[in-house]
Amino acid sequence: MTSYRKSPTMKDVARIAEVSLQTVSTVINDKPGVTDKTRQRVLAAVETLGYRPYSIARSLRTRRTRTIALVVSDIANPSFATIASTAEVYAQANGYSLVLYNTHDNVEREASYIAIASERWIDGVLFVAVEDKLDGLAAFSSTGIPSVAIDRIPHGYGGPSVMIDNIAAGRLASEHLLELGHTRLGHISGPMHLRLARERLDGFRCRVEESGVTPGLTACIEGNWTCASGYAAMQAILQQEVRPSAIFAANDRMAIGAMAALAEAGVRVPHDISIVGLDDIEVSAYQHPPLTTVQQSFSELAKAAVCLLLDLLADHPPATTQIVIQPRLIVRDSTCDEATSAF
């Protein structure tokens, strides 16, 4: 006959500590009203017995589970992986668990996960949308669940959010290339149905037009954030009659794909074509040559989003609910003066 060891109960703690059940409950829930000596006696009994409060029962009383959900569009993307890792660290440091929902950039899957998370007593939500729509956040709002949108923020959205200044990012890339004397410039964009992709292009193009250089922006091809799309876009650019001497890719992965296409075609970076990426993912510094990029700190993005959400959960009105993080240029070896170009 199999025997099972009974888990210790609150009654067991009260018996060992020689206090009432109410006193044990007060100590476990960290409420005032007991002396330090009594509190230490109860905690010693908890430690001796290995007692663990029944979290579900506590949740029934408080309506809080100390759980945050992160809904992310593609966890295979290094940028979003960094967001997830950093968010988990800061959530855990503040006594919260993090639950991940990976939508794989699929609208139907996103809707399904939103419904699931809404039903599971999630305390708050960090949300990276599939598209320039935040309809899913309305579902959380209707149930009283605080939420913060990250990265992909549509025009007109007025709720809590954290994002990079994408127009400034595009301008930084163009200013760097213009200062190097480049007059034939190209761009590999992200999916143009996303606001952030359009804004990166707008910032880049507007600064080029302001400079008055000719012929200016000679190539603009849409990618989908992957290395493969950057590779294909660069192959197409190499077939054009007027070839750019410098390319700004809207993220590092597409820039890395573009560099692979150039190497395959025997085109040297940066001697023949300069390349600028955006994100500053870890591998960008270890390319050959190391990639010049516009940095957006995904760790900073995630930390700001978690802190904003925690303020909302604690009913502490933050100074601002719409945080815009400024990018900065990281110059490495994938860019050089156009005067040195042999292309």
Q: What is the pLDDT of residues 211-225, one digit of tens each?
A: 999 999 999 999 999
How far is the C-alpha of 128 from the C-alpha of 110, rounded, in Å?
10
329 bridge partner residues: 294
At 50, is the pLDDT very low, low, confident or very high (cuts 50, 70, 90)? Answer: confident
Whether 238 and 307 have beta carbons less than 8 Å apart is answered as: no
- In this structure, what token pair is assigned to residue 332? 């490495």
How far is the C-alpha of 119 from the C-alpha of 140, rounded, in Å?
10
**pLDDT above 60 for 54:** no
Q: In the chain, where do the E strands start and end? A: 67-72, 97-102, 124-127, 147-150, 161-164, 184-189, 216-222, 246-249, 274-279, 292-295, 322-325, 328-330
Close Cβ partners of 302 (under 8 Å, ≥ 6 residues apart): 82, 83, 84, 85, 86, 87, 90, 126, 150
Choose the weakest-confidence range: 11-25, 86-100, 204-218: 11-25
The phi and psi torsions of 82 (rounded to 5 degrees) equal -65, -40
What does the pLDDT read at residue 180? 97
**Per-residue pLDDT tens digits for 107-149:** 899 988 888 887 777 889 999 988 888 777 777 776 788 999 9
What does the pLDDT read at residue 61? 44
- Whole-model pTM over 0.85: no
The residue among 309 and 154 whose pLDDT is bigger is 309
CA nearest 159: which of 314, 325, 309? Answer: 309
Close Cβ partners of 213 (under 8 Å, ≥ 6 residues apart): 178, 182, 183
